[in-house]
Amino acid sequence: MKKITIIGNGNMAKAIISGIVGHLEIEVIGRDISKLEKLQNEFNGKININLINDNFSIDGKNILLAVKPQNLNSVSKSFHGRARRLFSVLAGISIDKLKDYISADGYIRAMPNLSAIYGQSMTALFGDEVATGEAIFLFGRIGNIIELQNESDIDIATAIAGSGPAYLSLVAEALTDGGVKSGLKRADSEKLVEGLFAGFGKLLTNHSTFEIKNMVMSPAGTTAYGYSRLESGAVRSSFIETIDIAVKRAKELGNLSK
């Protein structure tokens, strides 16, 4: 695969372009020329841009679909021909549904996250074997990959890793606010939380959550007291319910695109 055509010029398209620019020839298709030109400038002219038109040929192309699930219907009406590959990052849209809208020789659903901007996405993949190697190459350029065995698991991955940066932002903001409430300058509190998150990734890769908890929590210590407050605030069950409700919403979004 030498070329890719990305449909959509939003956050996710930009994140993916950051990872693959210079490795693939990139064409970005959008509906607003000023936004497309801005994007082209951000990548120093290294991407080609084109406006979508009523008769847009996808014939033989490798298409990466990066519009909102609600836009699938309108976008696909502009397409004609059969793509070589269709890579979709759309939350909730099944491969069967993609087939209803866009024809291709191989389909992949991918669920990256915003850390793709820094080459640190956690991307879940599911799809046709014929396209898996190319998907691993493509999404491997923007971070880590997990191949899932069941398509329905993609909705769960969406709820955890796709939405996760927003949930963790809430945690980071709350910890920062807590520092300010206890008397720290906001800038100092923010710096502490930034460092906490940066280091925690390494801890989590190398230790179980149980080990981490035990290494930090000493009897009757500050962590034990703080931890029990999180439990009485039902933080654990809130997160479990958060994933549950987000999975349901991913499935609903799939139906909304009809």
Binding site for ligand NAP (CB under 6 A): 8-13, 30-32, 35, 52, 66-69, 71, 74-75, 89-91, 111-114, 162
Closest CA to 245 of 133, 143, 163: 163
Query: In the numeric block, which tokens belong to residue 220?
Result: 């009757």
Least Å from the CB of residue 49 to ligand NAP: 12
- Whole-number minimum distance, CB 13 to ligand NAP, in Å? 6
Q: What's the min distance (Å) between Cβ of 208 and ligand NAP? A: 27
For the chain, helix (H) and strand (E) counts, in that order, are: 11, 10
Contact 121, 115 (CB under 8 A): yes
- Report CA 162 to chain centroid distance, whole Å: 4
- In this complex, which beta carbon is closest to ligand NAP, that of residue 106 or of residue 162? 162
CB 216 within 8 A of CB 223: yes
Helix (H) or strand (E) holding 242: helix 235-256
Nearer to ligand NAP, 52 or 175 (CB): 52
Helices 222-232 and 235-256: crossing angle, nearest 10°?
Answer: 50
CB of 239 to ligand NAP, least distance (A): 18
Residue nearer to ligand NAP on the CB measure, 43 or 227 = 43
Nearer to ligand NAP, 42 or 177 (CB): 42
- Quote the least distance from Cβ 31 to ligand NAP, whole Å: 4
Between 30 and 127, name the residue whose CB sits nearer to ligand NAP. 30
